Amino acid sequence: MKKSAIYYVLLSCFMVFAMYSCSEDDKNILSDLQDLPTPVLTSVTEAAGLGGTDATIEGSGFSTNPANNLITFGPSDNFGYKSIRAKEATATSLTYTRPLISAVDAIVSTEVRVSRLDDSNPTRSNALDVDFLPLISTYASGLSRPRGIAFDSAGDAYVSIHDFEDPHIVKVTAAGVEDYVHIPVSTNLRGEIEFDSDDNLWVGTSWELLWMIPPGPGEPVGTEYAEACTKSISFDANGNLWAANERILRITPDGTETDLFGYIGWPGVVATVADGYLYWWTKTEYEDDPQTVNKAQITPDGLGATEKILEHDHGKYWPSSIVVDTDGNVYGHGSSFGFPAYIPSRPTF
């Protein structure tokens, strides 16, 4: 067989393979190729934004089929080029979801262009400037041994500094970091901190003593709970304080203390309140006890039935805190006997 014949056979096979490997949208594009005018961009609504959020390009000459509009970002020293398809489309506007482009503490500036994939001779549009805001920003730096963090009703941040010689709380605002209140020397500030509905700041110590700091700040008030050992603290909608470490306690606004499960074991439990539920992560010294992540609905009498969300092999993680997002995903942070634990970027349990 002549080389030219072999070439055309191979080319035909490739085209058949390409047609069958394309998505349905791509097949439609290939079958609808036309000679079309070049798209023109006039503006971008919300030209600066975070990756993962939506923006809209205004202009003309767009395909009304979103998949036909290829939106390209770049060039940029941070990522080169990135291309996506439009999410929604009319002849004069394209809505798209920004790709995840970011740099720590830096705005990534680049250009956006559009080309039509159903154009038999595609030419990219003119370019408009867009900015990708940083997904990670440094709010404060230079803190020595920070432990807990909480926000008051005004949105200001407070951080506990775990220093045996000078345990204290700092206040962090856009203006910088300032000392807020000092706690008596040798207090173990390894516990979490949390504001109640009256902007009193409660400070866990990983021992039996809870500190309450009135707004202002007022003079710290130490309250001793026999079994508190407060590694984590959280308030529910009725003002009840949930304290956890080797036990899980509910402490009502009048100071009544209820031990929900009895002694769980060392190093115990971290817990948080979210959407009417108490979530807690257990880890004990008992070799036969696996780690578990649980939740139970908060009731007037305490807790409803326990639901086990996840079970780990013994000794895998040693979380020091957990949080729950608005979708009910649980995030854990901590270490495994002194070594950082691997936690995926979005751990959903």
Question: What distance in Å separates the CA atoms of residue 35 and residue 311, rounded to the nearest whole number?
Answer: 59
- The pLDDT of 228-248, averaged and rounded, is 85
Closest to 57 (Cα-Cα) out of 81, 102, 93: 93
**Residue 1 pLDDT exceeds 60:** no
Would residue 199 be called left, alpha or beta, if left means φ above 0 and alpha means ψ between -120 and 50 degrees?
left
Assign 317 a pLDDT band (cuts: 50, 70, 90).
Answer: low
Homologous superfamily, domain 34-132: Immunoglobulins (2.60.40.10)
| Fold type of domain 146-340 | Methylamine Dehydrogenase; Chain H (2.130.10)
Cis, peptide link before residue 39, omega less than 30° from 0: no
- pLDDT for 24 equals 55
pLDDT computed for residue 318 by the predictor: 67
pLDDT at 306 over 80: yes
Secondary-structure breakdown of the chain: helix, strand, coil percentages, each rounded to the nearest 5: 10, 45, 45
184-220: pLDDT as tens digits? 877 778 788 999 999 999 988 766 678 889 998 888 8
Give pLDDT tens digits for 77-100: 888 999 999 999 999 999 999 999
pLDDT digits (tens, 9 = 90+) for 20-62: 445 555 555 555 678 899 999 999 999 999 999 999 999 999 9
Edge-to-edge strand ranges of the sheet holding 48-49: 48-49, 128-132, 108-116, 69-76, 80-85
Assessment of whether the complete model's pTM goes beyond 0.75: no
Share of the chain above pLDDT 70, in %: 81
What digits encode the pLDDT tens for the residues 144-153? 888 889 999 9
- Kindly state the DSSP code that residue 22 receives in the 8-state scheme: S
Residues 284 and 303 sit within 8 Å (Cβ to Cβ): no
25 backbone dihedrals φ, ψ, rounded to 5°? -60, -40
- Nearest Cα to 343, choosing from 268, 293, 308? 293
Query: How large is the average pLDDT for residues 257-280?
Result: 87
Which residues, other chains included, contact 28 with Cβ-Cβ below 8 Å and sequence gap of 6+? 65, 67
264: number of Cβ within 10 Å: 20
Q: What is the mean pLDDT of the chain?
A: 82
Higher-confidence residue of 340 and 183: namely 183
